[in-house]
Chain A
Amino acid sequence: MTTRSLWALVRQNIRRARRSFVLSVLGIAVGISSLVFFLGLSAGVRAVLLGKVFPLDLVEVVPPKSNLDSGGLSSLFSMGSGAGPKLDDAAIAQLSGRSEVVAAYRRMRMAFPARASGGKELLGRDLHGELVAEGIDVAAVAGESLAPLAFDDQPGSQTACATDVDCRAPEYCPVDSLRCERPVPAVLSPFLLEIYNSAIAPSHRLPRINRFLADRFRGFTFEVELGQSFFGRIAPSSVPSKTRRIMLVGIARRSAQLAVTVPLATMQRWNKEWGGTQGATADYSSVLLQLRPNADVPRLSEKVRELGLELSDSGAEKVGLLITLITLLFALVSFAIVAVATVNIAQSFFRVVAERRRELGLLRALGASSASVRRLVLCEAAVIGLLGGLLGVAFGRFGAWLADTLANRYVPDFPFRPDSFFSFSWLLVGGAILCAVLACVAGAYWPARAAARLDPAETLASS
């Protein structure tokens, strides 16, 4: 029997038993829709949590905690210069040479106090606060869309000036040096932006920074007073504080989560000037390792421990495990629904085979082989599975759209809230449809076998 003929016979069979066919399709569609819904939800949540909040392809190596615990207020700004293992260039070279590592980005925390003020041009009024900043290798922000300054440590033209108008924009005239300087470029993390949007902006009645404002905020500047804190003066009294200008140039995924990130060289320069002896000899506060896909993290972790360092616990693995467990639970429920539908399909096809005994016997008498009869039944089941799968995917996606719509309307905002809680990859959609087809074919297997084994002489004689 040719495929075309098989399809024609399947169509004829479907046409005459529409109600039973539709019920079977709906049965499968219900199971598949729940499977698609839950797996889509799981993939969406996983993408946000493990892609944005706890990235799995980035690990942060830090000095052992005891190094940071030197006590006192100054430990807030300490650089891990205790007696234990250090995160220095030698240690970083060893880590970046590992096969699991694609790139290593050094980070250095600000080792002295500073305060910041500004924001009127963007937020409507000036904000004042302690500056928490960190330096990072400029390569860490490569590929990010940054403007209007390059993310590097450039002093500027250093021409003499009396006021800002004497300098070529975006340079400005610091009052302590009266030499034109380029503002220090800085980037923020998407995490910080989310925290601002979901927590700070609503509580202070400030505008949220949406995509439009995010574009506008590139080039936004604010003043920082280096060596001066709202808590008092902590830097060595011999070093006078200086006011400098910082310009935000964009959002960078690898920047420090809760700090303003500037070029590493800038931070090293500042630490030497205001960080005292501790700042001058400071090692790195952490190194960010970009991992290869499917890197052997436990092996890397072992090497990190050998060096006396630690992996910062981002919680990614725990979150990943939790999501996987929840996904498995929902998938299990969905598979149970599909299994029930499969049993229904089996029952339905056993009934169909019993009802069509005479017809199946006739087909054998007219030239159908037992394999052809088996194929006919299985093909009919596969069509039910295909349509059930397609309908299930459509139902699942509709459910996702409904859930997103309701969530957007009724669920309060929170950090990293995605536009959609769902993610439907082609693999998921194709897998769900395949699952539906396989479930139906599996359900129809025994009835098809029984149909193929019917004795044509007996069935025709009994009719």
Chain B
Amino acid sequence: MSHPTPALELRSVEKSHGGQPVLRGCDLTVERGDMVALVGRSGSGKSTLLSIIAGLDRRYTGSVEIFGQDLAKLDDRRLARLRSVEVGLVFQSFQLLDHLNTLENVLLPAYLSDGGMTTALRLRAEEQLARVGMGGFGQRRPSELSGGQRQRVAIARALLLSPQLLLGDEPTGNLDRQTGAEVIALFSELHRTGLTILLVTHESRVAAVASRVVRLEEGRVSDGGAAEASG
């Protein structure tokens, strides 16, 4: 019986900044359908590792495979396609463009994809906004939204092209407790639909909803087991 390829597999990933090692041989496997919380102290290299996994940072050694594709072997175009179609990204600071309205922000990945903008994707963008509780906010500018609303829009954008892996970099880091809890609940709900999720966080309440928690300490990943994160 053949095992399905893991959603994510890191082997001996190393990375240095200005001669200082940040990652010292990280190994991590995320199975399909997992919701993994990557926890660790500030400055431990969590976001650096997430950038490598997202294919944004290519200056590392070791191997990173997403759904069996070794990122180091992909050219710029194929890597861009992977980021566009197979991976969804959610940032701590939302990263919405102020000159676009909410719907246009959600549609950005569609503009950048090989298939381009279609009516079906426009409808899907509206569906995703409704799914994250932002239906009816399509014409609003990001500046007119609260932090929680902006993060919901960012999640809708990440989901537009139906990625199989959702990566979140401190998605509740800029939110108050109540709003953060709502966003965590949203991730939890997405996980229940079968989406593979990897969240970088230093918040225990985020880790609490994860099916698995891994720690990044002194540049190495250690398995922390299920839902026992610390802050």
Contacts and interface: CB of A to CB of B under 8 A. Distances in A.
Contact of B76 (A12, A363, A370): A370
Interface in A349-398: 358-359, 362-372
Contact of A364 (B80, B111, B116): B80
B115 interface: yes
Interface in B64-95: 76-77, 79-81, 83-85, 89, 91, 93, 95
Contacts of B81: 367, 369
B57 interface: yes
B104 A12 contact: yes
Contacts of B112: 1, 5, 363, 366-368, 372
A457 B80 contact: no
Given A1-B116, A16-B99, A371-B76, 19 more contacts: A1-B113, A1-B114, A2-B115, A2-B116, A4-B117, A5-B111, A8-B111, A12-B100, A12-B104, A363-B108, A366-B108, A366-B157, A367-B80, A367-B81, A369-B76, A369-B80, A457-B48, A460-B56, A460-B95
A461 B52 CA distance: 13
A456 interface: yes
B110 interface: yes
A366 B84 contact: yes
B97 interface: yes
A455 interface: yes
Q: Which residue, A1, A4, A367, A370, has most C-beta atoms of chain B within 10 A?
A: A367
A394 B157 CA distance: 43
B179 interface: no
B95 A8 contact: no
A294 interface: no
Interface of A: 1-2, 4-5, 8-9, 12, 15-16, 358-359, 362-372, 455-457, 460-461, 463
Contacts of A4: 116-117
Interface in B24-76: 47-48, 51, 54, 56-57, 76
Interface in B106-131: 108-117
B200 to A, nearest CB: 12
Nearest to A16: B99
Given A5-B111, A8-B117, A12-B99, A367 B85 contact: yes
A12 B101 CA distance: 11
A367 B110 CA distance: 9
A455 B108 CA distance: 19
Nearest to A362: B95
Contacts of B161: 367
B111 to A, nearest CB: 4
Contact of A365 (B48, B56, B93): B56
Nearest to B108: A366
Contacts of A359: 97
B116 A362 contact: no
B110 A5 contact: yes
B106 to A, nearest CB: 11
Given A5-B110, A12-B104, A359-B97, A366 B116 contact: no
A317 B69 CA distance: 70
Nearest to A1: B112
The 6 tightest CB contacts between A and B, nearest first, are A367-B84, A2-B116, A369-B80, A457-B51, A457-B57, A457-B56
A12 B89 CA distance: 23
Contacts of A358: 95
Contact of A460 (B85, B91, B108): B91
Contact of B77 (A12, A366, A371, A455): A371
Contact of B111 (A9, A16, A365, A456): A9
